[in-house]
Amino acid sequence: MGKSKGKQRKQVTLPPELPPEITEDEIEVSDEDLQFVDENTDYAGFVSRLDTHSITRQVTRVEGLSEDALEALYENRRRKALEQKENERSVVQVDPVDALPVKTLDGEVYYRTFSQIAEVAENEEGNEDKSIVKLTKAERRAKLKKSKKEAKKQGKELAKTEEVLPTQQEAILAEVKEDLMVEETFESKKCKLAELGMALLADPESSIKSLKEMLQFAKDGDHSIVKLGMLSLLAVFKDIIPGYRIRLPTEKELEMKVSKEVKKMRYYESTLLSAYKGYLQKLLALEKRPIFHHVVVRCICTLLDAVPHFNFCESLLGAVVRNIGSSDDVVRRLCCATIKSLFTNEGKHGGEATVEAVRLIADHVKAHDCQLHPDSVEVLMSLSFDENLGKPEVQEGNNKMKSKKYKKRKNIEETNQIQGNDRKKGKQEMMAKMKEEVAADYKAVAYTPDVEERKRMQSETLSAVFETYFRILRHTTQSSVASSEANGSTTPGASGAHPLLAPCLSGLGKFSHLIDLDYIGDLMNYLKRLASGGSNSDVSAQKVQNLTVSERLHCCIVAFKVMTSNLDALNVDLQDFFVQLYNLVLEYRPGRDQGGVLAEALKIMLCDDRQHDMQKAAAFAKRLATFSLCFGSAESMAALVTLKNLLQKNVKCRNLLENDAGGGSVSGSIAKYQPYASDPNLSGALASVLWELNLLSKHYHPTVSTLAASISCMNTAQNQVYLSITPQQAFINLSLEQESFDPKFSTQKSNNKRKRGTGPSTLASINPTSIDENEVSKKLGRHFMLLRDIKENERLRGELDRTRSSLQLYEEYKKQRKSLKHKTKKSKKPLPVN
């Protein structure tokens, strides 16, 4: 019986475990299933009425076993499953890469666990230790302690690594959160600025308090927000600033009772003025920081250009003038453009800002000892002055006299009449007073001052301008003399020594007609010293060096402009300037000096003057002809135009075109020509001949050759046609930028003109055509393609010649080798036996 029971127990098999129960939250049901169940509730309603417990009991039952025995079997199976899971957790799996696979006898391949590898290693070590030496108890204890310490260290390191990983993740998450917060705050501040600005532009009077809120953004820690705040306030102030200066009410005016509208307007104006003042203070404070410099300068220049009439204009002018000579090109150009706009648009401010700006520029030049960028003084060229300010005074004086006479006559008539009602008289007096007050207020607000006020402002402006110019001239002479004494003999033409001299001379030339006659003598002395440079001609005067040829020529031009504008000052001798021009023509270099300045000097000093001394005119004609041989077509053309003008005005100088023995027919007081003389009156040019024209008639440029041929064909008659072109126009027409050669204008055409023997003709038909850049580029492309093909052909020919020569050498070598072989064969043949 016992055996049969045991067999029955062994044969009992439990059904498989049911799947684990899933909560309703984890179950995902699609919308289609829900829709289907809702539509078919009659068919799917039985599911909700199912008894799950009875179904489970029916599935898990076993025949022949009671419920208690079946529960015990299930409990046993659960316990074994838990033990197996614990054993699997305790075993560390080894990566298949770190352990070799094991193949069983059945052919299955598996990877051993860490515990199995450790057991095998311990068994091997134990076997080795047993085979070698048996450890004592003390050694075993020490070994156990050591292993425990190592295990503790490993545990600590693992704990540290586990702590470090979450801390790094937390730090990265914190950084990401900070970045997101910064972006959100930036966007929110931008939106706030936009809202405040739009509210102010829509209704300034009701939203005037928002200006203070917008000013708070200028104190933000984010630089981008500060820049946006400055630019937003700039746009707001440009729009809401009134067209008049705000005058705050006095204490007496505040005590008076006024209407609500007046109080509201006073509050609006005071708030606007205080906010504008705070804005300017913030701009001037941020100007010193490089990161905000560009934005601040742009804001200041825009405000000054838009509202030069408003309060605190002096602060804006000071900031702009400080940066007018900045080394930063963007800042300097912006400030110069603002000052020029201020000078040209005086209707916005009535001229007061112009006077203040010119004073500040004069002080700025003085403070920096004339060592500034040329643009800082060149802006003064944009000034304009009225020349007929005295005429309206006479008309106003006549009107005043008429009004006085009319008033006297009216008073006489009123005295003759019967005295009327006193009430009417009082009303008339009050009306007259009110009209006078309104007229005074209108005059104070209006930007167009009367004639006397305008004349006073323009005289102050002009005096400040000439003060600046004379300071630059004095500084140039003093610094040049000091440098020449310190360095000994310096080479003239050092660049950058006097940066403000060129704009100063240009300004003096433009405003020369406004210079007072009392200062013309001093001005001419300064110009004479500067034009002399380091030449040996002016021994008595102090030598001024470090000036370029263009600057010295410019001094001569200014001197002649001053004299032509002030014809009353006839006691000044200009002979020294002619001497300087005579010497500077030889010192001119095309790449170093400005050809336009030389052409202007030739026009003003030699062409515009009516008559010259015969000896001086001949000397200049000879020197200009020599000059034309040495330089380019543009300079040669300007010199030849001046030469022809001199020969047309001085009839006797045309004897230089004759080819008599011993020179010209009129030699003058000096019998021999001195080409290196420094004074044109001592050169003896009348004793020479203009043989240079023969060479110039063969010039490579057809325009120059044609003009030289026409000059050489001039006769001694006085009825000559004067040229309608100036040296400046000739230089511009033939400058490098506009110079082009017309292929139709060949040398045969010019030779035909010479054969005709026609007299001088105008240069209007000789002017070169305009440059066609496409044609020039095409021609240059073809030219360089041809050159490249020629070089390529030369290279290929060289290679071909080398290969031919090598082939020839090889063939000769073969022939020599064959001949040697033939000779050796002949030598080896046996001799015939007799």
SS (H, E, C) 46-71: HHHHCCHHHHHHHHHCCCCCCHHHHH
- Greater confidence (612 vs 393) lies with 612
Q: What is the DSSP letter of 110?
A: E
Q: How confident is the model at residue 555 (pLDDT cuts 50, 70, 90)?
A: very high
Strands 101-103, 109-111: parallel, antiparallel or unpaired by DSSP? antiparallel
- Greater confidence (696 vs 8) lies with 696
Place of tokens 């800082």: 376
Residue 751: what pLDDT? Answer: 47
Calpha distance 617→609 (Å, rounded): 11
Residue 500, both tokens: 């403000």
Residue type, 443: K
- Greater confidence (104 vs 445) lies with 104
Residue 245, both tokens: 């200066």
Q: What are phi and psi of 355, to 5 degrees?
A: -60, -45
**Among 521, 589, 587, which residue's Cα sits nearest to residue 559?**
521
Question: What digits encode the pLDDT tens for the residues 405-437?
Answer: 555 555 555 555 555 556 666 777 777 777 776
Across the range 478-507, mean pLDDT stands at 63
Instruction: Answer yes or no: is pLDDT of 734 > 60.
Output: yes
Instruction: Answer yes or no: is pLDDT of 438 > 70.
Output: no
Residue type, 466: F
Q: What is the DSSP letter of 731?
A: H
The set of residues, in sequence order, having a beta carbon less than 8 Å from that of 295 and lying 6+ positions away, is: 227, 230, 231, 286
Question: What digits encode the pLDDT tens for the residues 254-311?
Answer: 888 888 888 889 999 999 999 999 999 999 999 989 899 999 999 999 999 999 989 8
The set of residues, in sequence order, having a beta carbon less than 8 Å from that of 735 and lying 6+ positions away, is: 595, 634
Q: What is the largest CA-CA distance in the chain?
A: 188
- Greater confidence (90 vs 36) lies with 36
Residue 219: what pLDDT? Answer: 82
**Among 364, 366, 311, which residue's Cα sits nearest to residue 336?**
364
Calpha distance 733→440 (Å, rounded): 57
C-beta of residue 544 within 8 angstroms of C-beta of residue 532 = yes
Question: What digits encode the pLDDT tens for the residues 526-547?
Answer: 898 888 875 544 433 444 557 8
The total of other beta-carbon atoms located within 10 Å of residue 562's CB is: 21
- Greater confidence (237 vs 59) lies with 237
The total of other beta-carbon atoms located within 10 Å of residue 353's CB is: 22
Q: What is the DSSP letter of 603?
A: I
The set of residues, in sequence order, having a beta carbon less than 8 Å from that of 623 and lying 6+ positions away, is: 582, 585, 586, 680, 685
Instruction: Answer yes or no: is pLDDT of 759 > 50.
Output: no
Residue 416: what pLDDT? Answer: 52
Calpha distance 598→554 (Å, rounded): 8
Instruction: Answer yes or no: is pLDDT of 763 > 50.
Output: no
Residue 258: what pLDDT? Answer: 85
Residue 795: what pLDDT? Answer: 85
Q: How far is CA 798 from the centre of its chain?
A: 53
Task: Give kind and range of the element (H or E) at residue 712.
Answer: helix 702-712
Residue 620: what pLDDT? Answer: 92
Q: What is the DSSP letter of 21?
A: P
Question: Taking the CA of residue 177 as centre, how many other CA atoms within 13 Å lie in the half-sphere pointing to its CB?
Answer: 6
Residue percentage of the chain with pLDDT more than 90: 20
C-beta of residue 640 within 8 angstroms of C-beta of residue 706 = no
Instruction: Answer yes or no: is pLDDT of 586 > 80.
Output: yes
Q: How confident is the model at residue 512 (pLDDT cuts 50, 70, 90)?
A: confident
Residue 815: what pLDDT? Answer: 83
Residue 714, both tokens: 């001039």
Residue 719: what pLDDT? Answer: 52
Q: How confident is the model at residue 482 (pLDDT cuts 50, 70, 90)?
A: low
Calpha distance 380→336 (Å, rounded): 10
Calpha distance 704→291 (Å, rounded): 57
C-beta of residue 623 within 8 angstroms of C-beta of residue 583 = no
Instruction: Answer yes or no: is pLDDT of 476 > 80.
Output: yes
C-beta of residue 332 within 8 angstroms of C-beta of residue 323 = yes
Concatenate the DSSP letters of all residues of 334-352 into one string: HHHHHHHHHHH-GGGTTTH
Phi-psi region of 107 (alpha: psi -120 to 50; beta: other; left: phi over 0): left
Q: How many residues does the chain have?
A: 834
Q: How confident is the model at residue 338 (pLDDT cuts 50, 70, 90)?
A: very high
Q: How confident is the model at residue 787 (pLDDT cuts 50, 70, 90)?
A: confident
3-state class of 688 per DSSP?
coil
Residue 651: what pLDDT? Answer: 82
Residue 380 Cα distances to 360, 461, 469, 520, angstroms: 12, 10, 10, 20
Residue 280, both tokens: 């300017």
Across the range 116-124, mean pLDDT stands at 54
The set of residues, in sequence order, having a beta carbon less than 8 Å from that of 610 and lying 6+ positions away, is: 649
- Tell me the residue ranges of DSSP E strands in 159-222: none
For the chain, give percent helix, strand, coil, nearest 5: 70, 0, 30
Concatenate the DSSP letters of all residues of 176-204 into one string: HHHHHHHHHHHHHHHHHHHHHHHHHHH-T
Calpha distance 476→466 (Å, rounded): 15
111 DSSP β-pair partners: 101
Calpha distance 650→531 (Å, rounded): 27
Residue 489: what pLDDT? Answer: 40
3-state class of 109 per DSSP?
strand
Residue 120: what pLDDT? Answer: 53
Termini Cα distance of the chain: 142
Calpha distance 445→682 (Å, rounded): 66
Residue 748: what pLDDT? Answer: 46
189-195 LR contacts (CB < 8 Å, sep 24+):
189/217, 189/220, 189/222, 189/225, 189/228, 190/225, 190/228, 192/217, 193/217, 193/228, 193/229, 193/232, 194/232
103 DSSP β-pair partners: 109
C-beta of residue 615 within 8 angstroms of C-beta of residue 622 = no
Calpha distance 90→118 (Å, rounded): 13
- Tell me the residue ranges of DSSP E strands in 340-383: none
Residue percentage of the chain with pLDDT more than 70: 70
Residue 720: what pLDDT? Answer: 56
Residue 300: what pLDDT? Answer: 94
Task: Give kind and range of the element (H or E) at residue 791.
Answer: helix 773-828
Residue 5: what pLDDT? Answer: 44
Instruction: Answer yes or no: is pLDDT of 807 > 90.
Output: no
Average pLDDT in the chain: 76
Instruction: Answer yes or no: is pLDDT of 667 > 50.
Output: yes
